[in-house]
């Protein structure tokens, strides 16, 4: 629990992640597919607005992170194929780098009482993959996943 | 003219193509973006029906190749970013392998009186890339591009 394993072999355009969560796959899927839940953890330290989040084959998504200094960072993409508790597949594009797209596949793998979230991300070039790693992705990811741990604990708690 | 250069380095998920055409970039863009033109060359030896072809950021496309024996092969994807005479970007998925997606970028590069079409295709895994190469892609591509040569000549011909 708590540690994200990031693999990015040299000279490949791949990033692979693994992170264990103390929750069943259906809660992980809810936290990744329901906008009201997603913005509670993915924004990490930024406020996040979700303009569109149409979780189905060909459905678009678009959200914006708002930094405290007033800067806004928009991202968008499209879901591909079946989105379910087994996993999700989507394209990912930063508004600031149009035409530079990654293809991100997620799996929610049952592991006894916990779930391993696996992500396989493919970039268009090795250089674009390296730039993503260099952008501070790991820190943002760990902060976001720590918030996701908290959210999952709240979702799993018995209603008072 | 006439020869497609295909590069697929070992242990990468990339396929790169280059093919010269005796036409300006705007005709190449039309032949790739107008369904009535696309089906005149992309189907190669198969009859092709285009169910959807919405050439804009986030727009979906879907077409089917009909083999003489009655088999049908469907493909679909989504356009990403700006689609223009400079180039196009789209995802590509075979209905028979849902969840296996490639990301295909095209450039229409002016080259004096001709145009070089460049394609950079990224697959989710090296194995998926290898399977695409092994599927007879090169033959289908060369047949399709020969028909595209003919179509471009007809489009460029003065109206009688």
Spell out the domain ranges in chain A.
Answer: 5-43+85-156
Element (H, E) at A61: strand A60-66
- A3's tokens: 């540690």
Could you give the CA distance from residue A104 to residue A60 in angstroms, rounded to a whole number?
Answer: 14
Strand pairing report for A87-94 and A72-78: antiparallel
Residues of B in contact with A101 (CB under 8 A): 80-81, 89, 103
Choose the CATH number for A5-43+85-156 among 2.40.40.20, 3.40.630.30, 3.30.530.20, 3.10.180.10.
3.30.530.20
**Lookup result for tokens 């000549």:** B153
Q: b/e string for A67-88 if b means 16 or more Cβ within 10 A? A: eeeeeeeebbbbbbbebebebb
Q: Which residue has the tokens 């169910």?
A: B51
Nearest CA-CA distance, residue B75 and chain A, Å = 12
> What confidence tens digit (pLDDT) does each residue in A29-42 have?
999 999 999 999 99
Query: Which of the residues in chain B have pLDDT under 50?
Result: none
Quick check: A18 pLDDT over 60? yes
pLDDT at A106 over 70: yes
Residue count (chain B): 160
Residue of B13, B60, B89 lying closest to A101 (CB–CB)? B89
How many helices (H) and strands (E) would you count in chain A? 4, 8
Distance from CA of A125 to the nearest CA of B (A): 8
- Residues in B touching A125 (Cβ below 8 Å): 120
Is there a contact between A122 and B13 if contact means CB atoms under 8 Å apart? yes
Give the SS3 label for residue A108. Answer: strand
Q: How far is CA A113 from CA A24, A41, A153, in A?
A: 7, 22, 13
Residue B134: other Cβ atoms inside 10 A? 8
Q: What is the value of pTM for the model shown? A: 0.87
pLDDT of residue B160: 57
**Residues forming beta bridges with residue A14, ordered by sequence position:** A122
Q: Are B122 and A122 a contacting pair at CB < 8 A?
A: yes
By a Cβ cutoff of 8 Å, what residues of chain B touch chain A?
11-14, 58, 60, 76, 78, 80-82, 89, 91, 93, 98-99, 101, 103, 105, 120, 122-125
**Six-digit token string for A55:** 């979780």
| Residue ranges with strand state E in chain B | 5-7, 14-21, 47-53, 60-66, 72-78, 87-94, 101-111, 114-123
pLDDT reported for residue A110: 97
Q: For the complex shown, is ipTM > 0.85?
A: no
């Amino acid at each position: 629990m708590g540690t994200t394993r990031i693999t990015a072999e040299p000279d490949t355009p791949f990033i692979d992640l693994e992170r264990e969560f103390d929750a069943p796959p259906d809660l992980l899927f809810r936290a990744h597919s329901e906008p009201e839940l997603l913005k509670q953890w993915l924004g990490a330290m930024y406020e996040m607005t979700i303009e569109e989040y149409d979780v189905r084959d060909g459905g678009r998504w678009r959200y914006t992170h708002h930094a405290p200094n007033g800067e806004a960072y928009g991202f968008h993409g499209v879901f591909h194929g079946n989105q379910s508790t087994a996993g999700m597949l989507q394209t990912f594009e930063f508004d600031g780098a149009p035409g530079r797209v990654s293809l991100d596949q997620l799996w929610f793998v049952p592991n006894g009482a916990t779930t391993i979230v696996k992500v396989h991300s493919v970039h268009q070039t090795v250089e674009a993959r390296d730039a993503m790693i260099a952008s501070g992705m790991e820190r943002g990811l760990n902060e976001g996943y720590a918030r996701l741990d908290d959210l999952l604990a709240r979702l799993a708690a018995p209603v008072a």
